[in-house]
Structure 1
Amino acid sequence: MQQKTRAFLKWAGGKYSLVEDIAKRLQSASQEADTLVEPFVGAGSVFLNTHFKHYVLNDINADLINLYKELQRTPDEFISDAKKLFVELNNHPEAYYGYRTQFNESIDVYERAILFLYMNRHGYNGLCRYNLKGIFNVPFGKYKKPYFPERELYIFAEKAQHATFTCQSYPEVFKKLPNNAVVYCDPPYVPLSKTASFTSYAKGGFDLDDQARLAILAEQSAFEQQTPVLISNHDTVWTRKIYAQAKLDVIQVKRTISPKGNGRNKVDELMALFHKD
């Protein structure tokens, strides 16, 4: 694979370190596919580091998809306007919390997109988190000088011209799979412990019933419609049970979301490939 491209967003659970593993499995599953469908696109590392003619990129987080659409629509204007917020004056708690309030009160899609990018780079640990009322509540991140990802934004915007962005539930995405496609799913992971989960990054959450439902949709897609599906998740008794019909590979991944050093150990992840041989 050629040099990897980083996403312009900081994102918990991003797949930058695994894109070679994922791309290899997607290619082996369907060498003829011309469309990659991602029901949980997140920061888009897989999108950025694969080579399909077209992409269907979905996420239930409306602010994320709105940001992608605005960047896709007017990249030069968007990047220029976003850059104006990345100044020393705005790298302080008072400024951050003021913009966070402005974001939560705004109904203007362009303004929300600009502020979403600002908060992603100035907020704590790149988290994207909302309370049950849908209010963005990530605290200030205290970074010395937040990086403005100008180059990464332009790369994303250029490749986004080959993408269709949607904000739907994952079952809706599976209902509308195009012909000659392959699917990669990066759902919110099954918690490794009862205390490992945090408030969802989109209203509604993703529980164990959703995990099982996604596995059933993957089976139906692969075995009834001949559209292969690859899913990433933690390696647990539960995931091995619901992915019983898939080809399972285990890979070790370094976790970096925990603020504590001892919370950054390697953990086992499953790559579950649903594919009709």
Structure 2
Amino acid sequence: MRLQTMSSTRSEGRSFLKWAGGKTRYADQLVAAAPPFTGTYREPFMGSAAVFFELAPPKAVLSDANPELVHCFRGVASDPKAVMGKLDEMPNTREYFEEVRRQDVDQLDAIERAARVIYLNKTSFRGLWRVNQKGKFNVPYGAYDRPYYNPSTLLTASKLLQGVEIRESDFGGPLEDASEGDWVFLDPPYIPEGGYSDFKRYTAGQFHDDDHERLAEAMRQADKRGVFLTLTNSDTDATRAIFKDFEVRRMATRRDINLQSAKRSSWDLVFTNYELSGREEELRLF
């Protein structure tokens, strides 16, 4: 396996969404651990795209299997002021939340669809995005008294998304498209650590054990083509076994989604196909 050294860069951008399992809190660490890539940055499990916004790469492809998330990012990229205007019209009440949750998204225009995602993200219980097998959003109302958006954050995000390809796709296509010198950052739904650790219901198709196996094989093939790879996942024996072909470090994390505060502190695993040795303390990787 080809080993490389690291480079880093910083950005003033940050995500406009709070996504369960998102990397906003650790984006600076992950960017500091970036390889010296010269090609395209690719993020096949886009989520909140926290690492993308921290990195602000000159060329990027963002993708996700969640169609509503893709429509949201496209809407923010194309017309953030219209999205903000629509959000300003949406009251934060249980009754209106239930109405929005029941909407047929195919009957909404691009701006309405983008605003719907942000609204549900900021008003649903703990900001979860969870759907049933029919793809219908089914998280209850959260009763939070907070703004839906920060204008500066949303406008900066829109600026950083200009020229970025935003694609609705399973991870397979984006990994196959990656070529030598590209950096692919992978943040899939995690392998459950036990108990209620279910973060796989972002899409109707969900994400299962065989999908992790398929992901590991796609990573091995990309590695052979000279693609730089970084993967985050849960610290379990199963995770280590599935991704055993890659370098691994532990990263201290916090699970805000866990209702029991004593169980919020945890570890993630960070897998790479390039060398991280020598800077573990600086990067807070162990």
Residue in 1 aligned with 2:24?
16
* Mean Cα deviation higher: 95-104 or 121-130: 95-104
Q: Mark the runs of 5 or more structure 1 residues left unpaired by the alignment.
A: none
Indicate the larger mover: 150-159 or 97-106.
Answer: 97-106
State the match for 2:232 in structure 1: 232
Q: Is the contact made by 1:83 and 1:148 (CA closer than 8 Å) also made in structure 2? A: no
Is the Cα contact below 8 Å between 1:37 and 1:184 reproduced in 2?
yes
Query: Unmatched 5+ residue regions in structure 2?
Result: 1-8, 277-286
Q: Normalising by the residue count of structure 1, what TM-score does the alignment of the two structures yield?
A: 0.90
Letter in 1 for 2:260: K
Once the two structures are superposed, residues 41-100 of structure 1 have per-residue CA deviations (whole angstroms, 9 ceiling, x without a partner) of 100110100142111000000000001111111222222222332xxxx22211111122
Is 1:143 the counterpart of 2:148? The answer is no
Q: Secondary structure at the match of 1:252?
A: strand
Q: Does 1:169 align with 2:170?
A: yes
Q: Deviations over 1:131-174 (max 9, x none)?
A: 11111111111112344222211111000003110011111111
Contact kept, 8 Å, 1:226 with 1:275, in 2: the verdict is: no
Quick check: which one's helix share is greater? 1
State the 1:276 CA deviation.
Answer: 8.9
Deviation at 1:236, TM superposition (A): 0.9
Misfit runs of 4+, over 6 Å: none
CA distance in 2, matches of 1:200, 1:217: 22
Residues 153-197 of structure 1 deviation map (CA, whole Å, 9 limit, x = unaligned): 111100000311001111111122255311000000000015421
Matches within 5 A, 1:230-269: 230-264=230-264, 266-269=265-268
* Corresponding letter in the other structure for 1:257: I
Aligned residue for 2:217, secondary structure, equals helix
Matched, 1:106 2:114: no
Identity of aligned residues (%): 28
Amino acid at match of 2:26: L
Q: Distance in 1 between matches of 2:183 and 2:200?
A: 30
Instruction: Check the 8 A contact 2:124/2:139 in 1, yes or no.
Output: yes
The 3 A distance-change label for structure 1 pair 147 and 115 is: closer
**Structure 1 segment 37-56 matched on structure 2, within 5 A:** 37-56=42-61
Measure how far apart 1:230 and its partner are: 0.5
Answer yes or no: is the 8 Å Cα contact 1:40–1:58 preserved in 2: yes
- Structure 1 counterpart of 2:170, one-letter code: S
Alignment of 1:127-206 (within 5 A): 127-197=128-198, 200-206=201-207
Equivalent of 2:89 in 52, 75, 84:
84
Q: Secondary structure at the match of 1:215?
A: helix
Aligned to 2:5: none
